[in-house]
Amino acid sequence: MNVLWLQSAGCGGCTMSLLCAEGPNVFDLLSGAGISFLWHPALSVETGGEVRQLLQDVESGAVPLDVLCVEGSILTGPKGTGRFHLLSGTGRSMLDWVRSLSAKAHHVVAVGTCATYGGVTSAGNNPASAIGVQYDGRHAGGAVPAEFRSGSGLPVINVAGCPTHPDWVTETLLLLAADELTATDLDSFARPRFYADHLVHHACPKNEFYEYKASAHHLSQMGCMMEHLGCIGTQAVGDCNIRGWNGEGSCTRAGYPCINCTAPEFEEPRHAFTETPKFAGIPVGLPSDMPKAWFMALASLSKAATPKRIEQNAISDRIMVPPQPKAPKT
C-alpha cells in the first residue's frame, strides 16, 4: 500500500509526533506491513522536479494512489481561490491539489485536527479561511464536499488530535492495509473508533481525586482539574491515558488539563484553557452522559466523604499524606 503525504497549513507537529512511534519505530512498523511512502515532505529525499513529476503521474493515474494523507488545514483564501497557499513550483493551490488527488485516492486520511476540522490555524478571525479536508469546524463540507467518498467508499478518515498520537496514525494505516476499516468503525465525526470510543478520563491518574471531587486550585497540584482548571477529559474522546505518549505520558499525567484537542472547534473555547466556566458556582461542562442533578448530588456526597489524605494531597504538588495500613482489629 502506497501513501502520498501532503503538509498543508500547520506546524508539522503531527509528523513530529509520528516520528515518536516506538516499539517498533514508524519506519520498521509500516514497511513490515508493506506500507511505503510515495513521498513525504519531511521524510523523503525527492524534491523539486521529481516531486512535481510524481504529483502529475498520480493525478493522471499513471501511478495508483492507495492513501492520500493530508496534514494541516486547507487555506481557501482569498475569496475561495486557495492562493494564500500554493504548492511550491506547481503554480497551483494546495486546495486544488487536495481536491484533485482526493478524487484519485482509494483512501483519504486527514491527520491532525487542523486537517480534520480546521484546528488552530482557523482560530481567531480566521483571516486565511482555513478549513479541514471534509469539515469546516463542526460542519460537514470542507475542501471536499460533505458527500465526498474516496475510491473505497469511505469519507475522509479524520485522525483528529493536536497533535495526533503516533499510534492513531499507524494503526489507521495498518487497518487500511488489512482492509479492516469500515464505515461502522468511524464515529459521527469520522474519527476511528478504536481511540474515539474512549474518553481521556479513562485511566487518568487523577481519577481518585475526581471520585471525591477533591480539586486542584492551581497548576502543578495533584487534585482533579475539572472544577477549577478547565479539564474536560470527561467529555473528550481519546485513549491518551490508556495507551500513553512516549511510553507513559499524557497531558493530565503531566499536570495539565485536557483541552479536548480531538474535537472540532476546540481551539475556540471562549475562555482560557485553564479556566472552568461556571454558572452559580457549578461547572458548565459536566460529563457528557450524566444529568446535572445527578452530578450535583454525587459531588455533594463525594465531597462530604473525602478522606483527609485525598483532601490534603489534592492541593499539594506531591504526596504529602501517604495511604496508611488499616489498623488491626482488636
CATH number for the domain harbouring residue 237: 4.10.480.10
User: Do 244 and 166 form a contact (C-beta atoms < 8 A)?
Assistant: no
Shared domain check, 241 and 189: no
**Residue 83 pLDDT class (50, 70, 90 cuts):** very high
- If you average pLDDT over residues 163-168, what whole number do you get? 96
What tens digit of pLDDT does each residue of 102-114 get? 999 999 999 999 9
Shared domain check, 289 and 162: no
C-alpha neighbours within 13 Å on the C-beta side of residue 167: 15
Please give the Cα distance from 249 to 247 (Å, whole number): 6
Per this entry, what is the length of the chain?
Answer: 330
**pTM confidence score:** 0.93
The pLDDT mean for the chain works out to 93
- What the block records as the C-alpha cell of 59 is 493525478
- If you average pLDDT over residues 33-39, what whole number do you get? 96
295 CB burial (10 A radius; 0-12, 13-18, 19+): middle
**Residue 68 pLDDT class (50, 70, 90 cuts):** very high
In a domain, 329, yes or no: no
pLDDT at 25 over 80: yes
Of 196, 220, 246, the residue that ends a domain is 196
From residue 153, give the alpha-carbon distance in Å to each of 66, 126, 157, 281, 301: 13, 32, 11, 48, 50
In a domain, 325, yes or no: no
Residue with cell 504526596: 319
**Residue 281 pLDDT class (50, 70, 90 cuts):** confident
pLDDT at 105: 98
What tens digit of pLDDT does each residue of 112-126 get? 999 999 999 999 999
Torsion sign, CA atoms 49, 53, 58, 59: positive
pLDDT at 240: 95
Shared domain check, 256 and 223: yes
pLDDT at 295 over 90: no
Shared domain check, 226 and 100: no
User: What domain range is 282 assigned to?
Assistant: 198-319
Of 196, 214, 233, the residue that ends a domain is 196
